Structure 1
């Protein structure tokens, strides 16, 4: 009877050992399978999201360039006030000369 009990205990131990080895051997492959499944499901959405982000970045860069160009134009206009004042003075001189010319012409 002892031998039979010993055989049952040995069988239980070997079965548990076999089951443990089976779980240990298959656990990484199950994890990798789940990981691969997740990547396969999420990759198209992530790729589309990346493409959208690149498009938005390009549009943003274009808008930033436009705004910087406009700011540069406005800055250069503030520096041109000296030139506008000079033009204004020259126009006033021309108008005065024209009036003088007209008066000289009318006297003749």
Structure 2
């Protein structure tokens, strides 16, 4: 083998070894983002008891006011129409020049 071949082989081995050894220190210790599955062995409630408590909680008035991540439901915006098309056109026609310029600023980035 020539010197050039030996040098090239050594460089290629080093090029492949450096990335492989950079992961050698990583040992999974469950501290990564996402965490671990937590098993709570102290919970002695049955599934039926949990469902019954959930139904009782849903009957409370405060349940309807909490939405999003707490209840797993998101509000439905604009489910019902409050104005007719004619009412909206009338409002647009009766707008002042300042109001029109203000609204136009949303679209132009001004």
Q: Same fold (TM over 0.5)?
A: no
Taking structure 2 as the reference length, the TM-score comes to: 0.29
Structure having the higher helix fraction is: 1
Q: Which has the larger radius of gyration?
A: 1
> Which protein has greater RCO, CA pairs closer than 8 Å, 6+ apart?
2
